[in-house]
């Protein structure tokens, strides 16, 4: 497994111990901030074949639902290596450290695609939230290489843990922690940072009924595998200003 997303946890003796995210169960307050472990889930393509790092196209929005069947995640293979050990802060002041991307060049990242401002997110009908390539600009940000929410024009730095850099969003997007197996296949194992799942499940009852037969079904955890497709296949309309 690729261990670039290790957390460094303060033990009872004060020593720092390196551990793999997938070995953690439940919620954990660590020297890197809050991390929550979920089911370890392998990413598959639409045909049910395991996806490998080598299959990914650069600067392409890929979507899979994790850790719940209704919570979208965007995965990216960026053009450039990410930063390391980025200190981030939630909107209530809690600090945590994002360790960086995975893969040989540290270019592969995944973020919860629920905006930290007012919970805009991709649906099968439309998406206001997506990554914007390096050579493009939007009304939300004067440079590309960022995640943008066109609902209220917030932007987030994809190479630095999706920290909020413009617009009304006051917190980063939560990071979905990835592990890479020896055969280059990809697994999601947990969520680092200020997720918005609780608010999300309260806010979109009609949507959950439309797409998932109700909130109870929408709140089920993904187990074993998740299908990942390009955003253009996931949604009918991408909205970007």
pLDDT in tens, 127-153: 999 999 999 989 889 899 999 999 999
Mark whether 161 and 216 lie in a shared domain: yes
pLDDT in tens, 52-90: 999 999 999 999 999 999 999 999 999 999 999 999 999
- pTM score of the predicted model: 0.88
Task: State how far the alpha carbon of 74 is from the alpha carbons of 105, 108, 122, 216, 229, in Å.
Answer: 19, 11, 9, 23, 10
Mark whether 16 and 106 lie in a shared domain: no
User: Domain tally for the chain?
Assistant: 2
Residues (pLDDT < 70) of the chain are 1-33
Query: What is the per-residue pLDDT for 200?
Result: 97
In degrees and rounded to multiples of 5, residue 210 shows phi and psi of: -65, -45
Mark whether 24 and 100 lie in a shared domain: no
Mark whether 68 and 178 lie in a shared domain: yes
Mark whether 3 and 82 lie in a shared domain: no
> Cβ distance 187 to 22 under 8 Å?
yes
> Cβ distance 192 to 90 under 8 Å?
no
Domain extent, residue 9, equals 1-30
Structure tokens at 196: 């918005």
Mark whether 54 and 147 lie in a shared domain: yes
């Amino acid at each position: 497994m690729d261990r670039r997303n290790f957390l460094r946890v303060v033990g009872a003796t004060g020593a720092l111990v390196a551990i793999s995210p997938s070995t953690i169960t439940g919620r954990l307050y660590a020297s890197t901030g809050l991390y929550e472990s979920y089911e370890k889930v392998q990413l598959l393509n639409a045909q049910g074949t395991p996806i490998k790092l080598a299959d990914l196209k650069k600067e392409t929005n890929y979507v899979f639902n994790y850790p719940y069947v209704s919570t979208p995640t965007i995965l990216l293979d960026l053009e450039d290596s990410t930063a390391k050990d980025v200190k981030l802060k939630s909107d209530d002041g809690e600090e945590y450290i994002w360790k960086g991307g995975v893969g040989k060049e540290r270019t592969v990242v995944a973020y919860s695609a629920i905006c930290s401002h007012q919970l805009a997110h991709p649906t099968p009908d439309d998406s206001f939230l997506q990554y914007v390539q390096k050579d493009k600009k939007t009304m939300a940000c004067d440079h590309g290489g960022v995640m943008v929410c066109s609902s209220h024009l917030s932007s987030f730095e994809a190479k630095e843990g999706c920290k909020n850099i413009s617009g009304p969003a006051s917190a980063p997007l939560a990071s979905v922690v990835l592990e890479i197996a020896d055969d280059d296949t990809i697994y999601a194992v947990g969520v680092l940072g200020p997720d918005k799942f609780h608010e999300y499940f309260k806010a979109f009852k009609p949507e959950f009924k439309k797409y998932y037969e109700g909130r109870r079904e929408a709140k089920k955890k993904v187990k074993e595998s998740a299908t990942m497709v390009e955003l253009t296949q996931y949604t009918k309309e991408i909205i970007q200003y």
